[in-house]
Structure 1
Amino acid sequence: MKTQFSKWKVSYMLILLAGIAIAISCKKNNNSNEGQNQDQTQLTKDEEMAILKAGFSPDDAFRKDGGYMVEGDIFLDANNLATQQKIVEDLKQNKPTTEQYRSTNIVAVGVSKELKIKVDAGTSEKVFRDATSEAIKRYNDLNLKLTFKLLDANAVETADIVINGADLGKTPDGKKTILGQSAGFPANGNPASPIKLSTVVYGPNYNNNNLLASVIAHEIGHAIGFRHTDYADRNYSCDIKTYNSFFGKYSKQNEGQGTGGAIHIPGTPQAENGDPNSWMLACIEGDNRPFTANDKVAIKALYPVK
């Protein structure tokens, strides 16, 4: 069912919707070698180990903007890495955690919480706003304690999540355009921000609103604490099996250790029997991905209905 033209990849680390199958793409096939950043070089063993200790796979990770891109679309700086390493270590030692932590960080809601989202996308502003409105509607239609509001372009309110447009460049091999980039994990009960999306791909003339809304809903999912459903084997959605330079052998594309914050949400299928239409898989076809029944179970497990 997958085609070379329409496959994307995305990723982020946080709570696993284990087994709900869908994913968004953060990379697009492109044979050009233009735009390769000089700092996107092969990682050292120490850097790979630091990423692994933070609960992520070093496979396909690369340097970018003074930090690292992991799992396709997750940007981690030195502070992110140190925080995640401590989380993993505390989990291993069964140390107490804060109330926002459930093998991962999520957004603190309490009785209710509204997250304000602002779009700043230059010439792609209308395209991004229309798609963000649809993505927000999908969450708000679930009647959760956690709700979302799209701020006006000139609003003076402080946004909880900013969605920027940018040319994110290419992967180190120069063959894939990076479509999206998340900003790590929720911290101190707050969502991760900003979300960056490619204005090269999602330009002012982009007209697949539902597809872009699915990408944004996926990235919002990362920002509020969801991890890819097929984190343990990206072959489930991406149909890939590559050489693992860190372990020195061919292996599954495992995005990270389960102790790093990936927990199965009761009531949702495991990856091997998963839902191929879920919104949080690592890769999807180029089509619309509204929440499935399994997705709704998972979302409501983290953020209950009012």
Structure 2
Amino acid sequence: MKSNILLNSKTISLALLMTVAVVISCKKSNNDVPPAGQNSTTELTKAEKDAIASAGFSPTNAFKTQGGYIVEGDIFLTLNDLQTQKAFVSSLSAKGPKTEQYKTVYKVTLDTIKIKVNAGPAQAVFTKATTEAVKRYNDLGLKVGFKLLDSGSVVKEDILIEGQKFDDPRILGQSAGFPSADGKPATPIKLSNTVYDQNYKDNNLLATVVAHEIGHAIGFRHTDYADRRYSCGYQSFLDYFRAANEGDGGAGIGAIHIPGTPEGGEPGSWMLACSDGTNRPFTASDIVAIKYLYPAK
């Protein structure tokens, strides 16, 4: 799971972008774009910068020229171009990305999934959050049980949870993958021990991250697998043009839609790709998805 601060940008040809901009008629008011001739200097006003950004272009280093603006180094746009592109970007945004529940090909076949925490200085913080995450699953009354082992237990765990310093500070947690063909969960789960250090206080939020990574380990893909923009947002206008589909994961992992779960949106799901910084206990559709893979007793 990641924080939703940033996403990687995508690529798109300038020719396609400008072709689309030209064929769409302008139907919106020009009130938020300064009229031609106003402010003849090359320095842009805040309103002009906002207009460029709303059209999906970067206002950084943009400047005024005769008849319009030069943006992103070499793109000439008139006032009408800005309004046309703004209308197009807004229409794409209004459609909204899709989200639904997905599972992998394999699931865990154990009767009890044993979990152990090894987090060094953050042991108490990780253990408390894992206790809550385990409770969330066990409270569903599933045939499969989740058991948190004592840190000193000699019993071999099925999933190890440990601390990790990630190179990318946006990464909050990371599972080792998905269940294998032998019916065992993926292990280990690594959680950021820089974000979640020994002084971390929001237990429910960390429990959501733990439950999310356990979800991967036992066979769940991201709820917004088909389009990560649902939870991760947009880094630039390029993200409006191509959905961030995560693919099938390779090696026959699969991404299979779970019957009975929504295809039109599921805000608050525990398996959304990016965290919005809030606690996310299981939604009604999450519970449908979990009980589809792991039925109740």
TM norm structure 1 = 0.60
Asked if 1:211 is matched to 2:205, the reply is yes
Per-residue deviation, residues 258-296 of structure 1 (Å, max 9, x unmatched): 9851111111101xx222011011123111111111111
- Structure 1 residue 133, shift from structure 2 partner: 0.2
Structure 2 letter corresponding to 1:201: V
- 1:15 corresponds in structure 2 to none
- 1:261 is aligned to 2:261: no
Check if 1:239 corresponds to 2:233. Answer: yes
Q: Secondary structure at the match of 1:296?
A: helix
Decide whether the 8 Å contact of 1:162 with 1:194 is kept in 2. Answer: yes
Q: Distance in 2 between matches of 1:148 and 1:268?
A: 24
Counterpart Cα distance in 2 of 1:119 and 1:242: 38
The one-letter amino acid of 1:159's match is E
Gaps of 5+ in 1: 1-9, 11-25, 31-101, 171-175
Matched residue type, 2:187: S
CA-atom RMSD, angstroms? Answer: 2.4
Q: How many residues align?
A: 198
Q: Which moved more, 1:228-237 or 1:204-213?
A: 228-237
Q: Is the 8 A contact 2:133 2:208 kept in 1?
A: yes
Specify the alignment match of 2:156 in structure 1. Answer: 158
User: Can you give the 5+ residue segments of structure 2 that lack an aligned partner in the other structure?
Assistant: 7-102
Structure 1 match to 2:121: 123
Alpha-carbon distance in structure 1 between the residues aligned to 2:210 and 2:271: 11
SS at match of 1:142: coil
Q: Distance in 1 between matches of 2:104 and 2:259?
A: 14
Task: Encode CA deviations 1:131-169: one digit per residue, 9 max, x unaligned.
Answer: 000000000000101111110111000000000012122
The residue aligned with 2:112 is 114
Query: How far apart are the structure 2 equivalents of 1:282 and 1:294?
Result: 16
Q: Map 1:48-197; keep pairs closer than 5 Å.
A: 104-109=105-110, 113-170=111-168, 176-187=169-180, 188-197=182-191
- Determine the C-alpha separation between the residues in 1 that align with 2:236 and 2:179: 30
Give the distance between the partners of 2:143 and 2:230, measured in 1 at CA.
Answer: 32
Say which structure is richer in helix.
2
Q: Among 262, 267, 286, which residue is 1:276 paired with?
A: 267
CA-to-aligned-CA distance 1:15-38 (integer Å, 9 cap, x gap): xxxxxxxxxxx24759xxxxxxxx
- Return the offset for 1:242: 6.3
Higher RCO (Cα < 8 Å, 6 or more apart): 1
Counterpart for residue 76 of structure 1: none
